[in-house]
């Protein structure tokens, strides 16, 4: 069953169950023309966002998905996470005449195959770390013994942000490479990428693309490590702030000319019509900005951090991307405020953790504060409980980062669940004072 192309923009579906999708829904509901937003499947907090409703349906059940989208008269679908994008949900929905924000599987390959993305960058002359692609123990031994040390080891495919290692010795480099080739990440590790280790601050840049043109969202900086002072294991992200003062306009225009525009041109050359957000994970090295990774989706928690800064026109811009008619000069910002986000996670994350703990919310309401749920659900008694590693994000806006983060941490003191953990130094690069005594 194929639907007629819709011209109205009233009912939206967002695929995904994280904080990213909740923050997108929150930014979109502000537009008065939007009537209803369905989160598929959403989480324990999505239902509290105005106009939002969870739909507990498996997007892999294609017939049911199409039937449901048609019966709810959905005008526009936003696909949040990388897995459905890589699996071709965008291709499928477009084949059924839906307007979709999120690339097809060909464009999603920029994230789903790191070695493909590296060859793409090499072809388009886009600055990135040197790399070697290996798929056997023999090849790995040869490269590791001859390439300059240290090397960054990466599983080629999707690994929920856990497939990157920076070992301290050559022995450990070989050991982890062997483990990945031998199946640590299943098929995602059939190919391993060994990369030159580059240095510098990292920033996240988001370009909304319509297949030809793009507009930029404000830049953000994420905090990937689990412990304060950027120690411990890599996570999906423990907090973020936006915009990043380290990025001058001159540097941003270099990034546009040397990285963003060549990426879009190369996509066009390859006949890949990329309609969605292109996420550039960059490192600002002393030799200039270099691409660490591409993602085919919004960053989490960067998205939660940036969404409160968006103009009510935001949903129309996403829709224009889907339809391929962006002007390239649309205004996205509604404020000159800055935004900060702190993630509260479950004890043990990013390794093993327990779920099912009730969450209590006991804080004064402040203006410019949003709580976006990530890993939460509602139990049979109707209580909100923890249901994931990263549980929720507290996002605050202010005239400066000190005031934004002071409010965020004040709110966090009033949120509790068994084993709650959060970093106390989020935004340390942009705050003047961050001594804190909390939970
Ligand atoms: P990725 O999942 O590719 O973004 O990698 C996760 C993290 O590993 C990045 O945010 C960087 O901190 C680090 N990383 C990845 N590649 C490199 C590299 N070539 N040199 C230095 N650090 C890297
Ligand atoms: N915050 C990093 C990511 O979403 O990949």
Q: Stretch 182-190: mean pLDDT, rounded?
A: 94
pLDDT of amino acid 3: 60
The ligand placed nearest to the CA atom of residue 196 is 1
Q: Is the CB of 118 under 6 A from ligand 1?
A: no
Instruction: Read off the pLDDT band of 162 (50, 70, 90).
Output: confident
Instruction: Read off the pLDDT band of 6 (50, 70, 90).
Output: low
Express as a percent the part of the chain with pLDDT over 90.
Answer: 92
Q: Is the CB of 292 under 6 A from ligand 1?
A: yes
The ligand placed nearest to the CA atom of residue 118 is 1
Judge residue 231's burial from the number of C-beta atoms within 10 Å of its C-beta, 0-12 exposed, 13-18 middle, 19 or more buried. Answer: exposed
The per-residue b/e assignment along 377-402, b for 16 or more CB within 10 angstroms, e otherwise, is beeeeeebbbbbbbbbbbbbbbeebb
pLDDT of amino acid 438: 57
**Ligand 2 atom at minimum distance from 299 CA:** 4
CA–centroid distance, residue 80 to ligand 1 (Å): 22
pLDDT digits (tens, 9 = 90+) for 22-37: 999 999 999 999 999 9
The ligand placed nearest to the CA atom of residue 156 is 1
Element (H, E) at 241: strand 239-242
pLDDT of amino acid 136: 95
Whose CA is closest to atom 19 on ligand 1?
A: 197
User: In the predicted model, is pLDDT for residue 437 greater than 60?
Assistant: no
Q: Stretch 71-77: mean pLDDT, rounded?
A: 98
CA–centroid distance, residue 222 to ligand 1 (Å): 12
Q: Is the model more confident about 1 or about 151?
A: 151
**Ligand 1 atom at minimum distance from 222 CA:** 10
**Ligand 2 atom at minimum distance from 161 CA:** 5
- Residues forming beta bridges with residue 288, ordered by sequence position: 285
Q: Stretch 52-79: mean pLDDT, rounded?
A: 97
pLDDT of amino acid 182: 95
User: In the predicted model, is pLDDT for residue 2 greater than 80?
Assistant: no
pLDDT of amino acid 57: 94
215-219, 363-367, 408-412: range with lowest mean pLDDT: 363-367
> How many other C-beta atoms are found inside a 10 Å radius of the C-beta of residue 328?
10
Task: Quote the mean pLDDT of the chain.
Answer: 95
pLDDT digits (tens, 9 = 90+) for 255-297: 999 999 999 999 999 999 999 999 999 999 999 999 999 999 9
What is d(CA 378, CA 4) in angstroms, rounded to the nearest whole number?
36
User: In the predicted model, is pLDDT for residue 80 greater than 90?
Assistant: yes
CA–centroid distance, residue 430 to ligand 2 (Å): 20
pLDDT digits (tens, 9 = 90+) for 99-130: 999 999 999 999 999 999 999 999 999 999 99
Which residue is listed with tokens 């996670």? 345
Q: Stretch 145-170: mean pLDDT, rounded?
A: 92
Is the link from the previous residue into 350 a cis peptide, with omega within 30 of 0? Answer: yes
Q: Stretch 82-106: mean pLDDT, rounded?
A: 98
Which residue is listed with tokens 């205004």? 331
User: In the predicted model, is pLDDT for residue 439 greater than 80?
Assistant: no
pLDDT of amino acid 414: 95
pLDDT of amino acid 319: 98
Q: Report in angstroms the alpha-carbon separations of 81 from 15, 265, 365.
A: 8, 24, 30
Q: Is the CB of 201 under 6 A from ligand 1?
A: no
The ligand placed nearest to the CA atom of residue 238 is 2
pLDDT of amino acid 234: 86
Instruction: Enumerate domains of the chain plus CATH numbers.
Output: 11-104 (3.40.50.20), 130-196 (3.30.1490.20), 199-323 (3.30.470.20), 338-416 (3.90.600.10)
CB-CB contact of 398 with 404 (8 Å): yes
pLDDT of amino acid 187: 94
pLDDT of amino acid 330: 96
pLDDT of amino acid 160: 80
**Ligand 2 atom at minimum distance from 300 CA:** 4
């Amino acid at each position: 069953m194929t639907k007629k192309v819709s011209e109205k923009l009233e009912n939206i579906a967002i695929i995904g169950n994280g904080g990213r999708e909740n923050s997108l829904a929150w930014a979109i509901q502000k537009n008065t023309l939007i009537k209803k937003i369905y989160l598929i499947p959403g989480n324990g907090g999505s239902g509290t966002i105005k106009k939002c409703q969870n739909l507990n349906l498996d997007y892999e059940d294609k017939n049911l998905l199409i039937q449901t989208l048609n019966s709810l008269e959905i005008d526009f679908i936003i696909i949040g996470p990388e897995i459905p994008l890589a699996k071709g949900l965008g291709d499928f929905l477009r084949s059924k005449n839906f307007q979709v924000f999120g690339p097809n599987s060909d464009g999603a390959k920029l994230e789903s195959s790191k070695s493909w993305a590296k060859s793409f960058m090499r072809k388009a002359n886009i600055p990135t770390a040197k790399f070697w692609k290996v798929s056997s123990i023999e090849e790995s031994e040869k490269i590791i013994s001859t390439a300059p040390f240290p090397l960054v080891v990466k599983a080629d495919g999707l690994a929920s942000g856990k497939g990157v290692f920076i070992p301290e010795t050559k022995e450990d480099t070989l050991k982890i490479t062997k483990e990945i080739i031998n199946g640590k990440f299943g098929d995602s590790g059939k190919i391993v990428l060994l990369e030159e280790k580059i240095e510098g601050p990292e920033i996240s840049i988001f370009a909304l693309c319509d297949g030809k043109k793009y507009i930029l969202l404000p830049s953000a900086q994420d905090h990937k490590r689990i412990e304060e002072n950027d120690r411990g294991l890599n996570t999906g992200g423990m907090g973020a702030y936006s915009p990043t003062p380290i990025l001058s306009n001159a540097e941003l225009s270099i990034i546009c000319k040397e990285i963003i525009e060549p990426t879009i041109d190369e996509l066009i050359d390859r006949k890949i019509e990329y309609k969605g957000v292109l996420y550039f994970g960059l490192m600002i090295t002393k030799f200039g900005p270099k691409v660490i990774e591409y993602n085919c989706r919004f960053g989490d928690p960067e998205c939660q951090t940036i969404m409160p800064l968006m103009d009510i026109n935001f949903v129309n811009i996403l829709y224009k991307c889907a339809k391929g008619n962006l002007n390239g000069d649309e205004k996205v910002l509604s404020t000159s405020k800055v935004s900060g986000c702190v993630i509260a996670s479950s004890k043990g994350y990013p390794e093993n953790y327990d779920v099912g703990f009730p969450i209590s919310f006991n804080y004064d309401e402040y203006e410019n504060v949003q709580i976006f749920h990530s890993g939460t659900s509602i139990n049979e008694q109707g209580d909100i409980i923890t249901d994931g590693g990263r549980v929720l994000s507290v996002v605050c806006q202010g005239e400066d980062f000190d005031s934004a983060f002071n409010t965020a941490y004040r709110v966090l003191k009033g949120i509790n669940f068994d084993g709650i953990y959060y970093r106390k130094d989020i935004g340390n690069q942009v705050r003047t004072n961050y001594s804190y005594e909390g939970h």
